[in-house]
Amino acid sequence: MKETFVTVTGFKHYYGKNIFAVGSLIKCVKEPDNTYDSEAIRCEYFPLKKVGYIANSVNTVANGTSSTGRIYDSVKRKFYVRVMFATYSHIICKIVENTEEVRKEYLKQGEKFVEKEFD
């Protein structure tokens, strides 16, 4: 897959944008049974679980990024994105290859988050 960028939205309804450090990984999971959008893709940040959704509306997709409708058929049921930068209203991420190394990095990132929060 060529470099593809997406917008994470809805984070204000969960934990805010401060948890999204540049370079961190977010796990994305398709939600075909979502009541509002059959192409919904949930974003998770271990160990917090849901932290937002990949944008799928002209009102929420940042310029230069792809909507869930554009990527839905080309991504697996679970995949990862890396935070590239954040603005007041958008978290811009790049889809990364779903490898064992990436999965391990995601879990390690969560362990560090827990250590930081509970030290």
CATH number at residue 104: 3.30.70.2330
What dihedral do alpha carbons 62, 63, 66, 70 form, nearest 10°? Answer: 110
Q: Residue 51 and residue 34: Cα distance in Å, rounded? A: 16
Q: What pTM, to 2 d.p., does this model score?
A: 0.87
Average pLDDT of the chain? 89
Domain span at residue 34 reads: 5-118
The mean pLDDT of 106-116, rounded to a whole number, is 78
Label residue 67 by pLDDT band (50, 70, 90).
very high
Q: Residue 81 and residue 4: Cα distance in Å, rounded? A: 10
Label residue 16 by pLDDT band (50, 70, 90).
confident
SS3 102: helix
Report the domain count for the chain.
1
